[in-house]
Amino acid sequence: MKLPLKIGKSLKKDEISEKGIETKNFSKSKINKKVIGAICLLLIAGAGFTIYKVKFAKKRNTVQSSVKYTNLEKTNIATSISSSGAIKSGDSTNIYSNLEYNVASINVEVGDVVKKGDVLATIDTTTLEEEIAEAQQTLTANQAKNQAALAQSQKNYDNAKYLYDNNLNTNIVSAETTLNKDKLALDESKKTYEYKNEMLKNGSESQDNVNQAQISYENEQKACNQDEVSLEAAKLSAQKEIENYKAALDSAQAVVNDKTAQLALQDKKKKLQDAQVIATVDGTVTNVNAVVGVQASGALFVIQDLSNLIVNASVDETNVANVKAGQRAEITTDASGSNIIAGQVVSVEPVSSTASASTSSTSSSSSNSKSSTSTSTTSNSTSSDVSFTVKVQLTGQNDKVKVGMNSVVNIITDEKSDIYSVPYAAVINNNGQSEVYAAEKQGGQYVVKEIPVTKGIESAANVEIEGTDLSDGMIILNDPSNISPGSTVPIKLK
């Protein structure tokens, strides 16, 4: 049984035919949308690939354009030894005072420029002046006393000598008088003895009387002998007295001639002139140790010639053999920045000057004369390290450099001029042969070509190269490690 179709109203044949056409058109529209969607996907994929390709190509171009190179030209290269040290004055003078009294006044301060003969300070001489007055008084009194003693000694000597020379010495005169008296008695007793002895022969005198006359004669002879001894003793005593007086005279004269006290007084008076502490050299006052009211002792002032600056650089034992007097040096400080101050090696200490626990900065390094690049290695020195002091004089001037500043010293041990040099990485080793890669322009491109070279001295960043194929203006690749001969490289001319 057929169920009636209720659609509100019945459709006519024409209407059904029109609807059928609309249904068919709707199916065709749906197919077209799928095609359009597929095309859109293809377009999006293509756009993404294009963008990726552009970006990738741009990245490749960026890498290639970053290739660095060196325009070959004649230059200078140097090998150096780097060290450090404080800047000092080559001429430093300590100023002392000859007086050990308190400082009265100070006329200068650190930084003042002085000339030889300038008065730096004065010393309080009140105590010295009192000592001089007392010494003068004592000297005057002693001189008067010594002169009186000398006069008395002279008088004693002259009197004794006069009496002796003129036979007026009382002891001698007395001895001579006694001797002469006894000689007369001796003569008389002798005559008596001889007479009685003759009378004895004639029988006119007794033997007893002759014997008695003989005894008297012998006694008188003994007395004369004793008198002669006494006279000689008196003469010796007089001579000894004269000698003693002469010794006393000489001693008194020596005391008068002694100038010790007088010289001491003169020295004190001379010290009054030292009350002024005088600059002995021209220069700048860099240290003031004097204090008003405090005893002057030690170095009161230090004067330095700040136009004559030096650096005592410490050089390791492995490098010191390469350092010679007269070699050129380059000095830099934090204050002077990149400005290089010229210097020269003055001397190399023959004996190691290493101190335990001292800090030094030494290394072997080099610098290119046309580049400020340099390297150094700082290390803490211990007692096991051996280093030598190298004195370097600053021949250049820089107003920013002051005494006491730390400095870096590059001692040029070897240098060459009018040579070619390139960075270390520019030289490669090809089976034992050193080579550099040059970029030669061919048409619109730069083609890499290998060139054999010989290496020379090395600086901190560069190395000397020699070769028959090298020429001015040649483009040498700084780092050809990832580049092959015959390949092309983009070069952006400087």
Report the SS3 class of residue 226: helix
| Cα 183 → chain centroid | 96
Residue-level pLDDT at 444: 85
Tell me the CA distances in angstroms from 420 to 211, 270, 465, 466, one per residue in order: 144, 71, 6, 7
Residue-level pLDDT at 33: 56
Residue-level pLDDT at 22: 38
| Spatial distance between the Cα atoms of 188 and 191, rounded to a whole number of angstroms | 5
Question: pLDDT tens per residue, the chain (494 residues)?
Answer: 333 433 333 434 344 333 343 333 434 444 455 556 666 566 665 555 554 444 444 334 333 456 899 999 999 998 889 999 999 888 899 999 988 899 999 999 999 999 999 999 999 999 889 999 999 999 999 999 999 999 999 999 999 999 999 999 999 999 999 999 999 999 999 999 999 999 998 888 899 999 999 999 999 999 999 999 999 999 999 999 999 999 999 999 999 999 999 999 998 888 888 889 999 999 999 999 999 999 999 999 999 998 889 999 989 988 898 899 998 999 999 998 989 999 999 999 999 876 444 444 444 444 444 443 333 333 334 445 898 999 999 999 888 888 889 999 999 988 889 999 999 999 999 999 999 999 999 988 999 999 999 999 988 889 999 999 999 999 999 999 889 999 999 988 87
Token duo for residue 107: 């006329």
477: burial class by Cβ within 10 Å (0-12, 13-18, 19+)?
buried
Asked if residues 254 and 111 have their Cβ atoms less than 8 Å apart, the reply is no
**DSSP for 134-196?**
HHHHHHHHHHHHHHHHHHHHHHHHHHHHHHHHTT--HHHHHHHHHHHHHHHHHHHHHHHHHHH
Residue-level pLDDT at 21: 36
Instruction: Please report the sign of the dihedral spanned by the C-alpha atoms of residue 358, residue 363, residue 369, residue 373.
Output: negative
Looking at the domain that runs over 129-266, which CATH code has it been given? 1.10.287
Domain spanning 69-76+416-489, CATH architecture: Beta Barrel (2.40)
Token duo for residue 27: 């199916």
Residue-level pLDDT at 13: 39
Specify the amino acid at residue 331. Answer: I
The CA-based angle 433-436-441, given to 5 degrees, is: 140
- Token pair 């300590």 is found at 94
Q: What is the DSSP letter of 2?
A: P
| Spatial distance between the Cα atoms of 464 and 421, rounded to a whole number of angstroms | 4
Token duo for residue 271: 């010290």
| Spatial distance between the Cα atoms of 376 and 106, rounded to a whole number of angstroms | 45
| Cα 118 → chain centroid | 26
Residue-range domain boundaries for the chain: 69-76+416-489, 129-266
Q: Give the number of other Cβ atoms within 10 Å of residue 446's Cβ.
A: 21
Same fold, 69-76+416-489 and 129-266: no
| Spatial distance between the Cα atoms of 292 and 320, rounded to a whole number of angstroms | 48
| Spatial distance between the Cα atoms of 323 and 459, rounded to a whole number of angstroms | 16
| Spatial distance between the Cα atoms of 305 and 165, rounded to a whole number of angstroms | 76
* Per-residue burial over 402-420, b = 16 or more CB atoms within 10 Å of its CB, e = otherwise: eeebebbbbbbbebeeeeb
